[in-house]
Amino acid sequence: MTTMQLNQRSYALSLEQVALLIVTLGMKRTILAAGHMGTGKSTLLKMIGKLLPDHKLVYFDGTTKDAGDIVIPKFKDLEGNDYFSSATNEELGFHLDVPVVIMIDELKKCLPPVKNALLRVMLERILGDKKLHPDSIVFATSNLGEEGVGDSLMAHHGNRLIEVPVRKSTNVEWVENFGIPEDCHYVVNSYVMENPQLMQSFQEVARPEDNEYIFHPDRAETAFVTNRSMHACSDIMYAAESGGLDNATLESALVGAVGRVAGSELFNYSRLIADLPKLDDIHTSPLTAMIPTGASALMMIVHRGIQSIERETVDAWVTYVDRLNDNCKSYFLNAATSKHPKQSLIMNNRKFQEFADRNVHMYSADKR
């Protein structure tokens, strides 16, 4: 690992930290969030939208644009005199006349004329003869230059921005901040939770063969584990669950999404479904429903409960989980009270409240 990589990692921020930085500083300065491919940088816009609900969100993919797609001159006739005005690309939101948050995705991959055209947008919030609402925010994203996928920025451009490195999520962060809130399949969430190496950075390994799950610039592969490709695995698992895929097709699709090592491993992991109790048994007989014996199957059934829980089944799931080991109870408790899409439904349930009171010592420190 080079000294530059070590220094960059020491300053790297989580997506949540970057979103807060953009909200706090973004009306005056343009933040450039640079991180590994597929790590969820594009979700920054959604995260900022939750922090600024009154702002209009604007996504702009600069890699698909030429200079003429940003702003073009327009002739107007006023009292017989011809003069130039500007026609701006409405994708950038300058015509809205309301506070906007503009995300310029993949800035460092843009063509040089596009970077030049966007520079005034990022510096002065001006495009042609139009100016953004003063409460507007502009930020940009890019991949890391050392990934070797075409990201670069001239020094005089970079010096006008505040570039912050975005670190990869840990496996726990991915599940809590993305997997559960985005309703990823319980098998995928459980698999990621049990395998921290899936979210490791290539900057943390000495040789490509030290972690065959992830992208490495010295290994020529297009399928590997990222936040994005694990989401694809979730879609594949849902398709298989609906009865549309046989085992050979399922494994092939998973390998195509995340590579041979992770894909085959996830396929084999998914076969633990056969060791789980039926949902109907848990819902109707939570005191007697079968409890898996293996640690992986236990984690999987907890994730299944977290994903499938509904108002009418909260009591049953709390009763069932209360029979499991402390590790399962703790995970269920923290996941249900963190960023779960049905958080209020669960926390307002009387049986869950009693369960939480009995096990308050199991809360993570940041949730006490």
Tens-digit pLDDT profile for residues 237-287? 999 998 878 999 999 999 999 999 999 999 999 999 999 999 999 999 999
* DSSP-based three-state secondary structure for 86: strand
* Residues 174-208: b if buried by 16+ CB within 10 A, e if exposed: bbbbbbbeeebbbbbbbbbbebeebbbbbbebeeb
Q: What is the pLDDT of residues 321-350, one digit of tens each?
A: 999 999 999 999 988 887 788 888 899 999
**Which strands, in side-by-side order, build the sheet including 162-166?**
56-61, 100-105, 137-143, 31-35, 162-166
Report the distance separating Cα 324 and Cα 304, nearest Å. 14
Q: Give me the pLDDT at residue 296, please.
A: 93
**Quick one: pLDDT at residue 261?**
94
Domains of the chain: 3-166 (3.40.50.300), 171-367 (no CATH)
Instruction: Give the contacts of 311 (CB within 8 A, at least 6 positions apart).
Output: 345, 349
Mean pLDDT of 202-207: 81
SS (H, E, C) 220-255: CCCCCCCHHHHHHHHHHHHHHHCCCCCHHHHHHHHH
Confidence of residue 3 (pLDDT cuts 50, 70, 90): very low
Can you give the pTM of this predicted structure? 0.79
Residue 4 pLDDT exceeds 50: no
Per-residue pLDDT band at 222 (split at 50, 70, 90): confident
Helix (H) or strand (E) holding 15: helix 15-25
pLDDT higher than 50, residue 48: yes
Question: What pLDDT, in 10s, does the model give residues 53-75?
Answer: 999 998 888 787 776 667 655 55
Reported as a pLDDT band with limits 50, 70 and 90, residue 6 is very low
- Position 365 scores a pLDDT of 46
In sequence order, the 6+-apart residues with CB closer than 8 A to the CB of 280 are none
Express each pLDDT in 12-39 by its tens digit. 898 899 999 999 999 999 999 988 877 7
The string of pLDDT tens digits covering residues 140-176 is 998 875 655 556 676 666 678 999 999 888 999 999 8
Which residue is associated with the tokens 């080079």? Answer: 2
- Which of these, 276, 256, 278, lies nearest to 267 by C-alpha position? 256
Per cent of the chain over pLDDT 70 is 86
CA angle in degrees (0–180, nearest 5) for 4-9-13: 140
Quote the pLDDT of residue 260. Answer: 94
pLDDT band at 1 (very low <50, low <70, confident <90, very high): very low
* Closest by Cα among 331, 335, 351 to 343: 335
- Residue 103 and residue 60 in contact, taking contact as beta carbons nearer than 8 Å: yes
pLDDT at res. 338: 77
Query: What average pLDDT score do residues 180-206 get?
Result: 90
In this prediction, residue 85 carries a pLDDT of 54
User: 4-8, 59-63, 153-157, 195-199: which has the minimum mean pLDDT?
Assistant: 4-8
Q: pLDDT averaged over the chain? A: 85
